[in-house]
Amino acid sequence: MADDCIEVTGKVVAVLPGTMFRVALENGHQVLAHISGKLRKNFIRLAVGDRVHMEMNPHDLERARITFRVKNAVVQKNAPIRSFGPGRSSR
């Protein structure tokens, strides 16, 4: 961790190729973020809707590094386990 980094919390909005993510901050601003080496090493999976802690460089506020995935306390009980897309069903 660098001394001059800004620590923020956000929510994953989109999963992009190459372990990149579009994350919405609490103030509504969206940034492009990549996962840190520790998350990559421990195979931590991120999905849309996950809350994450990030570090941002004060010189470039459009990019960030995801350092921690916050465990979701509330789980939807009626949410589908798997989505097969429109017009398809599980076999």
pLDDT at 26 over 80: yes
pLDDT at 41 over 80: yes
pTM: 0.73
- Per the CB < 8 A criterion, the answer to whether 23 and 52 are in contact is yes
Full residue range of the structural domain in which residue 23 is found:
6-60
Long-range contacts, stretch 36-45, CB < 8 angstroms, 24+ apart = 36/65, 36/66, 36/67, 38/67, 39/66, 39/67, 39/68, 39/69, 44/69
Instruction: Count Cβ neighbours within 10 Å for each residue of 19-32 and write b for 16 or more, e otherwise.
Output: eebebebeeeeebe
The pLDDT of residue 3: 72
Question: For the segment 55-76, what is each residue's pLDDT rounded down to a tens digit?
Answer: 999 999 999 999 999 986 555 5
Q: Is residue 40 part of a domain?
A: yes
- Give me the CATH number covering residue 12: 2.40.50.140
Q: Is residue 37 part of a domain?
A: yes
Rg (CA), the chain: 15
Q: Is residue 78 part of a domain?
A: no
Q: Is residue 33 part of a domain?
A: yes
Percentage of residues in the chain with pLDDT exceeding 90? 62
Q: Is residue 86 part of a domain?
A: no
Our count of domains for the chain comes to: 1
Mean pLDDT of the chain, nearest integer: 84
